[in-house]
Amino acid sequence: MKVLVLNCGSSTLKFQIIETSESGAVERKLARGIVDRIGGQASYHFEADGAAAVNNALVVRDHEAAVGLVIEWLGSKPGLKPIDAVGHRVVHGGDRFTSAVLIDDDVIATLEALCELAPLHNPGAVSGIRAARKILGDAIPMVAAFDTSFHHTIPQQAAIYAIPYELSQRHKIRRYGFHGLAHQHDIARYAELVGKPPTQVSAVTLHLGNGCSATAIRNGQSIDTSMGFTPLEGLVMGTRSGDVDPALVSYLARKERVDAAEIDNWLNKLSGLLGLSGISNDMRELTAAYQTNPRARLAVDVFCYRARKYLGAYLSILEGSAEAVIFSGGIGENSALVRKNILNAMAWCGIRLDDAANETMIGRDGRISAPQSKLDVFVIHTDEEAIIARETARVLEKK
Ligand code: ADP
């Protein structure tokens, strides 16, 4: 089945064409591209295997125009036609969508209602779905795959916040968790690499990119994850604070004479690595300045400390059943320094890095733990698009 995977953010559209099946056993990526800065003077980059890449800049007023641009380009590439299905990435599936779903009018109406829970993330996806349906019509089935659904197995004790129960009920407040497509991919890939079914592996996945989250996975299922009601909770991220004392919000609002929306902005956009270092949210710059700039060092150290704290907590709730720690995301895949700093001082639970493997495992999948390590440590390149394509095939093949 040839799937067009669409990942629409508020002002970007990324796509891939992936030939796959439910199992992903035989998978081929045929084309990929991005439209950036939708809503004004945009740029795009499209490339298909065996053809020259195209780059251009032009006004792209909305997602419909962006999807139109992609479809028109696909139409000019005979090898890419026909598309059998479209798989859409949607960040928030709320409590309604516990797995990928075939898109119909009812699903779109529910996704629109969910924009309230994910105002930064879901509107772009909904625009992309509407645009694709308008351009491609009903003949091509479309599936939505959610970043929250992998976490629907988190038990109530880990999902509920200790605030008045009625408030949680009234406003659907709970730990939803995010990055689910990434964690699902990473555990499936690890299982493949060690030759086991995903349902027989338990591990802690550390997905460290601009956004960062940790997940405790037991027998292939998420039982806890560090992002919560929103993607702000948990680990230190590029510009997000992760965990803070919730009393900071009202304290800072009073002291700085600003409203809650401003604090929200500080915690989401000006905190994390950027806020701590005062230099950058880019881990490459911070690790390069680690030896020479105390604030860069502070940011990296706090980032690694928080990740280690979650790792310890998750090894504990997995009750010793974890067999692996898995690093992914731009930082997890590429930074040997961050991996080492997180795992340093984890010898108490038998984790031993192979330093040479850690230094050289950059941007490729493989084991970085020493042979005597009690737990495997793996680096895995996250491929969310592949999971979306496989989920799309699964939904349609079942149908
Ligand atoms: P997103 O969450 O937006 O998908 P990515 O997974 O692409 O982000 O990760 C982006 C992060 O990865 C940035 O902080 C970037 O600095 C970091 N990164 C990429 N390459 C390296 C590297 N070689 N060393 C350290 N950090 C890196």
Which pLDDT value is given to residue 23?
74
Inform me whether the pLDDT recorded for 233 exceeds 80. yes
Question: Catalytic one among 147, 186, 376, 383?
Answer: 147
> Is residue 110 within 8 Å of residue 80, measured between CB atoms?
no
- Same fold for the domain at 2-146 and the one at 195-379? yes
Q: Active site includes 147? A: yes
Which pLDDT value is given to residue 340?
98
- Mean pLDDT value of segment 99-119: 92
Residue 318 DSSP one-character state: T
- Integer Cα distance of 378 and 361 in angstroms: 9
User: In this prediction, what percent of the chain has a pLDDT beyond 90?
Assistant: 89
Which residues' Cβ are closer than 6 Å to ligand 1? 209-211, 238, 282-284, 287, 329-331, 334-335
Inform me whether the pLDDT recorded for 195 exceeds 80. yes
- Mean pLDDT value of segment 22-34: 87
- Integer Cα distance of 31 and 80 in angstroms: 8
- Mean pLDDT value of segment 166-189: 97
Atom 23 of ligand 1, nearest CA residue: 334
Long-range CB contacts (< 8 A, 24+ apart) of 392-395? 392/1, 392/3, 392/5, 392/85, 392/86, 392/87, 392/100, 392/143, 392/145, 393/1, 393/3, 393/20, 393/21, 393/22, 393/85, 394/22, 394/100, 395/100, 395/101, 395/102, 395/143
Report residue 45's pLDDT band, with 50, 70 and 90 as the boundaries: very high
User: In this prediction, what percent of the chain has a pLDDT beyond 70?
Assistant: 100
Contacts of 387 (CB under 8 A, 6+ apart): 145, 181, 184, 185, 188
Report residue 238's pLDDT band, with 50, 70 and 90 as the boundaries: very high
**What is the rounded average pLDDT for all residues in the chain?**
95
Output the six-digit token pair for 122: 């879901």
Report residue 376's pLDDT band, with 50, 70 and 90 as the boundaries: very high
Inform me whether the pLDDT recorded for 116 exceeds 90. no
Domain assignments of the chain as residue spans, ordered by start: 2-146, 195-379
Atom 13 of ligand 1, nearest CA residue: 282
Inform me whether the pLDDT recorded for 120 exceeds 90. no
> Is residue 101 within 8 Å of residue 395, measured between CB atoms?
yes
To test the pocket of ligand 1, the residue of 239, 283, 361 to mutate (highest count of ligand atoms within 8 Å of its CB) is 283
Instruction: Looking at the CA of residue 273, tell me the nearest atom of ligand 1.
Output: 14
> Is residue 201 within 8 Å of residue 219, measured between CB atoms?
yes
Inform me whether the pLDDT recorded for 22 exceeds 80. no
- Mean pLDDT value of segment 10-29: 88
Pairing of strands 324-328, 376-379: parallel
Which pLDDT value is given to residue 138?
87
- CATH superfamily label, 195-379: ATPase, nucleotide binding domain (3.30.420.40)
To test the pocket of ligand 1, the residue of 120, 284, 290 to mutate (highest count of ligand atoms within 8 Å of its CB) is 284
Which pLDDT value is given to residue 77?
86
Which overall architecture, per CATH, does domain 2-146 show?
2-Layer Sandwich (3.30)
Report residue 80's pLDDT band, with 50, 70 and 90 as the boundaries: confident
Report residue 398's pLDDT band, with 50, 70 and 90 as the boundaries: confident
- Mean pLDDT value of segment 294-313: 98
φ, ψ for residue 31, nearest 5 deg: -160, 160
Where is average pLDDT lowest: 74-83, 84-93, 150-159, 331-340?
74-83
Instruction: State pTM to two decimals.
Output: 0.94
- What is the distance in A from the centroid of ligand 1 to the CA of 286? 11
Inform me whether the pLDDT recorded for 399 exceeds 80. no
